[in-house]
Amino acid sequence: MSDPTPRYQELRIPSLARVEGETALHLRIHDGTVTEARLEIYEPPRFFEAFLRGRAHTEPPDLTSRICGICPVAYQMSACRAIEDACGVVVDGQLAALRRLLYCGEWIESQTLHIHMLHAPDFLGEDDVIGLSRSHPEHVRRGLRLKQTGNAVVELLGGRAIHPVNVRIGGFHRAPTRAELRHLEERLRTALDDAWDTVRWVAGFEFPDAACEADLLALAETGTYAIESGIPTVLPCDATLPPYSFPLRDFTEHVAEEQVSHSTALHSRLDSRRHLTGSLARWAVSGHLLSPLALQAAREAGLGDPPSRAGAGRGEVCRNPYRSILVRAVEVLYAVEEALRIIAEYERPARPCVEVPARAGTGHGATEAPRGLLYHRYAFDDGGRVTDARIVPPTAQNQGAIEEDLRRLVQAGLDRGEGSEAELTRLCERAVRNHDPCISCSAHFLELDIERTH
């Protein structure tokens, strides 16, 4: 480049597009070295944990669903699990299956939304899905069809796709009949083909080299790909450290959120290290539990075979955030298959829910939101009123890893000579969207302009 790069440079991208919620990015570059990359989340403070205090034990599922319009089911499911845990109730059998089905619906629509509307435009040089619908109409039509099928599953079970009304602690207000569920089968069979085609489509994208250096954290279940339950399991970035799990009740001891004055957001740390949750982590921790069909799709897509047991044995861990779109596409295929399986085995339960009598105590719940692990904890008094609530969403956990990712990518870009603002902006926006951050979920992010600290 002929222009000498200024010794000191600051870049602000005032608003990132095609992410949920609002966020800005602040980069400091000194002498060609990136000294800081910071996501400034300016989603205004929202006080859900405070609003929950004094509410009845039946209320958190509806209330917390309003934290995020993109993954309301995840909030409802984590809340239900935490409350049921506190009340000593286990929901199993067909009611548990229905919950997994509902969650599959959200996975299908949310992952498809991200793949087609938010992420794919980056790989194909378009600004948005509208541009994409001109250059790749059949792929957009397929994406809309898939998303609609995901919505149809959530709508049938939940009443509507955003903030479903039919979920309650103990199960549902009304359980669908077999015949009602059968209506979905035909659409889901079409969706199976659409999901395969989506995997093939995204497999053809060009993936820049990158590797996210962070521990991977996801829930693990026995015998099945974890979605609506599981034990937190870690695959450390340092290959010399073995994978490990810990009980959910110890979650906040392992994943600690700190508010620090030089940072713009609450930062989470997993055992004092950076960590990442979401598709890449799920693939690493439970990939071997995917269905044969999903595994075949993953292999065709170039993901290889997942590790046979978190990190142990042979198999490939994917650390390239650009390739998260491949794992998402495979997960959509899996969710469609799971939905079909659950419907085929469905028997309408005698009652739509089990009783969850209030009692004093503390309960923990975690599920795999499309974007990663979502943890809830509630404490109740004798009357079943919430005395304390704690919510740790995936984006809060991923922020440190995303920032580190940005720092390395921008550094690599600068080393290649891509120093213009436009180039760096594009690079960063892509890097952030790789992680599908859900800023709306940041129930308690804060804004802090570092300039004020000088």
Residue numbers at the binding site for other proteins (CB under 8 A): 15-22, 43-47, 49-51, 53, 55-56, 59, 62-63, 66-70, 72, 113, 117, 121, 127-130, 133, 140, 144-145, 147-148, 151, 159-163, 165-166, 168, 172-174, 258-259, 261, 266, 352, 429, 440, 443-444, 446-448
Strand partners, 363: 378
* Closer residue to ligand SF4 (CB): 165 or 312: 165
Phi and psi at residue 35, to the nearest 5°: -95, -20
Task: Report the nearest approach of ligand SF4 to the CB of residue 25 (Å).
Answer: 24
Q: Which helix (H) or strand (E) segment is 434 a member of?
A: helix 421-434
Asked whether 332 and 115 are in contact (CB, 8 A), the reply is yes
Task: Report the nearest approach of other proteins to the CB of residue 426 (Å).
Answer: 9
* Closer residue to ligand SF4 (CB): 16 or 67: 67
Left (φ > 0), alpha (ψ -120 to 50) or beta: where does 148 sit? alpha
* Closer residue to other proteins (CB): 306 or 437: 437
358 binds, among ligand SF4, other proteins, none (CB under 5 to 8 A by kind): none
113 binds, among ligand SF4, other proteins, none (CB under 5 to 8 A by kind): other proteins
Burial class (CB in 10 A: 0-12, 13-18, 19+), 454: exposed
Distance of CA 322 to the CA centre of its chain: 15
In the numeric block, which tokens belong to residue 96? 């548990």
429 binds, among ligand SF4, other proteins, none (CB under 5 to 8 A by kind): other proteins
* Closer residue to ligand SF4 (CB): 163 or 408: 163
Asked whether 110 and 334 are in contact (CB, 8 A), the reply is no
End-to-end CA distance of the chain: 33
Instruction: Give the residue among 47, 301, 275 at the shortest CA–CA distance from 195.
Output: 301
Q: Which residue is nearest to ligand SF4 (CB)?
A: 66
Task: Report the nearest approach of other proteins to the CB of residue 166 (Å).
Answer: 4
67 binds, among other proteins, ligand SF4, none (CB under 5 to 8 A by kind): other proteins
In the numeric block, which tokens belong to residue 412? 């690599």
Whole-angstrom distance, CA of residue 294 vs CA of residue 300: 10
Task: Report the nearest approach of ligand SF4 to the CB of residue 69 (Å).
Answer: 5
Helices (DSSP H) in 237-290: which residue ranges? 251-254, 279-286
Whole-angstrom distance, CA of residue 202 vs CA of residue 389: 40
| Secondary structure class of 316 (helix, strand, coil) | coil
Task: Report the nearest approach of other proteins to the CB of residue 409 (Å).
Answer: 18
Task: Report the nearest approach of ligand SF4 to the CB of residue 46 (Å).
Answer: 9
* Closer residue to other proteins (CB): 4 or 44: 44
In the numeric block, which tokens belong to residue 192? 């199976």
* Closer residue to ligand SF4 (CB): 46 or 385: 46
28 binds, among ligand SF4, other proteins, none (CB under 5 to 8 A by kind): none
Contacts of 391 by beta carbon, 8 Å cutoff, 6+ apart? 48, 49, 64, 67, 374, 375, 376, 377, 443, 444
47 binds, among ligand SF4, other proteins, none (CB under 5 to 8 A by kind): other proteins
In the numeric block, which tokens belong to residue 195? 């999901």
The residue ranges that bind ligand SF4 (CB under 6 A) are 66, 69, 165
* Closer residue to ligand SF4 (CB): 105 or 413: 105
Task: Report the nearest approach of ligand SF4 to the CB of residue 159 (Å).
Answer: 7
117 binds, among ligand SF4, other proteins, none (CB under 5 to 8 A by kind): other proteins
Identity of residue 262: H
Task: Report the nearest approach of ligand SF4 to the CB of residue 165 (Å).
Answer: 5
